[in-house]
Structure 1
């Protein structure tokens, strides 16, 4: 049986949007490829809209997890890459991502600003690691 714990380290900020530490045990670890804001036909979703692109990338993460028998609640680590990151982007991304972790403790999280992604119209790319039985 897999277990996921979220111990809060003394001395580190407590934030509702992510966990500082996640301890996971299980028999399978799932790594998703970086997911961007495209649909199953490869069409861009949310041109120029960081919030909508984040939501679509998260939907795509969910599809990848489902294919492996996992869900958002099984994610232990998520990394978000944002083109031309500015501090105000954090709130936009956090709000767009929050519904996917509603009712569960969020995973450990890293947000990285990058100069560009593989295609110029992509604003965000999200990859996840999940642990399941």
Structure 2
């Protein structure tokens, strides 16, 4: 798979994402559901702790990706939803460490599926 990143400006590099990514020579695309801070039994964990929830989101995402034969390096797009954009930005280092500048959308929302959830990230991966 070949990736061509398009970044007509420099500011997005500070946040660790790309404005656009063109994929060529790929064989597989994985569209994932949004991942949240849920345990293996489907219970929300780490209420009111954005950092711990973000870690759990990334752990759950890694589990889904790995189970499908992908990894973080294959993620080209993330859609992030949060009930508190400022608190998520305070913990953005966790997200930036996992990915190689995916294209990204970040939305502030009133609530997620369960009221305890603060962040949800939906990845798309390509191999």
Which of structure 1's runs of 4+ aligned residues deviate more than 4 A?
Answer: none
1:92 Cα deviation after fit:
2.1
> What is the aligned length?
125
Instruction: Provide TM-score, normalisation by structure 2.
Output: 0.87
Q: Gaps spanning 5+ residues in structure 1: where?
A: none
The equivalent position to 1:94 in structure 2, one of 92, 95, 99, is: 92
Q: Distance in 2 between matches of 1:99 and 1:27?
A: 26
> Partner of 1:46: helix, strand, or coil?
coil
- For residues 62-121 of structure 1, the C-alpha deviation after alignment (integer angstroms, 9 at most, x for no partner) is 1111111111010110011001x34x22422312213323xxx22011110001111100
Aligned pairs (5 A) from 1:62-81: 62-81=62-81
Q: Is the 8 A contact 1:80 1:126 kept in 2?
A: yes
The TM-score, its normalising length taken from structure 1, stands at: 0.84
Query: For 1:6, what is the secondary structure of its paired residue?
Result: strand
The answer to which structure has the higher helix fraction is: 2
Correspondence for 1:106: 101
